[in-house]
Each structure stands twice: as structure tokens, then as C-alpha cells.
Amino acid sequence: DGGITQSPKYLFRKEGQNVTLSCEQNLNHDAMYWYRQDPGQGLRLIYYSQIVNDFQKGDIAEGYSVSREKKESFPLTVTSAQKNPTAFYLCASSIPLAHEQFFGPGTRLTVL
Amino acid sequence: KQEVTQIPAALSVPEGENLVLNCSFTDSAIYNLQWFRQDPGKGLTSLLLIQSSQREQTSGRLNASLDKSSGRSTLYIAASQPGDSATYLCAVGKDFGNEKLTFGTGTRLTIIP
């Protein structure tokens, strides 16, 4: 089955710890995205990558980092510099310039 | 700065009724508009994508329209079913070559059996 997988589904982190969220796709899409979703708010773009070894900051990149070493993978690291990391994180991918985005099932991160 | 608004935030209708969900955007210079469905605690499922040159798109019981000049889109759901209960989100793409989507906050739809 083609699709986007995110792991883990639930993640708990102590304050001051970095954590990495996994996103993998087998759709052969070049572009990948990370969004954050908070209750009552729309999705906000954290980072996006249009091609391997290249990525750009979105609207709320502070406290986050990404890498894009493989086409299939776009991991997101939530660093201790992120002041309010508790949220639902969604990964997406698309064919470049087509703008139709397809989403993974999400990871819910809770900071204890 | 593009702003996308979806009103109402929540809507309840009896099963079998036809319904319309609304999406408005402030900047009419868009590349396309996408409607998504989100079930509680889940990711987004793409429903319909309308290019800026198109007026509408249809998939099964769903029909999405786009009026760029007035900054509005509607999602029409025919013969609603309890399985249609979910949050519906619209998102607009800015321009060709710009991958960013701007999302609305969604309409939470409940279909009453």
C-alpha cells in the first residue's frame, strides 16, 4: 500500500529533552511538509522540503529542526528551545508544484 | 497575509439532508483550493482539489465550488450520512511554485441519525 507513515502515534517528553518524530512515504513524492495543529487553530507550517538535501522554514520553525537525506524520509526534531511543544504533528507530501498534499496519521506529542 | 475563515465552527444536521460548508479567503490571488476531512485524532484525508482556473469539482456525493473574485468556496454534501461526521478543512495554495498552504480552522460536522 502506498502512503505516509508517522511514528510513534503518541510521544511523551520531559521538559529539556529533544525528541525526533518520524515521517516516511512510499508515494515517490519529492516534496514533504511538517505541520503543527493546536486545538481550535488551523494547521501551521513548520518546515517543508521540495527535494532531497534541501528544506525551507515555514511560519513557525523556531525550536524545530529537520533533515532530508532520503527522498522517502523527513524526520522532525523538536528541541528544548521550543517553548510550547505539546501539539498534534502532521506530516504531508506532494508532487512538486501540484499543491495537492496527502497526510500521514499524525503524532501526538505531550510534554510532561 | 492570506487569511482563511470557515463559518460556522460547528454544524449539526439530520441524516439525509443536503448541506453546504463555507470557506472564505482574503487574497483572491490563489493557485488552488483543497478540501480535507479530519476524523478525531487522525490525519487529513484529501477530498477535492480545485485549480484556480476551475469553477467546481465533484466526487461522489461531494461538490466543491470556487469563486475567486469573491474569495469564497463551498463544499456541498448531498444526502448526508452519519459516516460524514468529521471536521472539514479548506486550504488555499498561494501561487505557482509556492508550496505553502494556508488552512482554515475547520467546520465540525455532526450528522444526527
Question: Residue A40 has what pLDDT?
Answer: 79
B101 touches chain A (CB under 8 A): yes
Q: Which residue of A has its CA nearest to B1?
A: A59
> What's the pLDDT tens digit per position in A44-86?
999 999 899 999 999 999 999 999 999 999 999 999 888 899 9
Q: Which grid cell sits at B29? A: 490571488
* Res A92 pLDDT > 90: yes
Chain B residues in contact with A102 (beta carbon < 8 A): 46
What DSSP line would sit under B66-100, residue for residue?
A: EETTTTEEEEEE-S--GGG-EEEEEEEE-STT---
Question: Residue B76 has what pLDDT?
Answer: 98
Task: Give me the tens of pLDDT residue by residue for chain B, a chain 113 residues long.
Answer: 899 999 999 999 999 999 999 999 999 988 899 999 999 999 999 999 998 899 999 999 999 999 999 999 999 999 999 999 999 999 998 866 666 789 999 999 999 99
Residue type, A55: F
Of the candidates B7, B55, B64, the residue with the CA atom closest to the CA atom of residue B36: B64
CB pairs under 8 A between A and B: 63
Cis, bond preceding B40 (omega within 30 deg of 0): no
Question: Residue B96 has what pLDDT?
Answer: 63
* Res A99 pLDDT > 90: no
Q: Which grid cell sits at A86? A: 505539546
Chain A residues in contact with B101 (beta carbon < 8 A): 43, 45, 99, 101
Contact B43 A104 (CB under 8 A): yes
Contact A101 B34 (CB under 8 A): yes
Q: Who has greater pLDDT, A22 or B52?
A: A22
The C-alpha atoms of residue A43 and residue B106 are separated, in whole angstroms, by 10
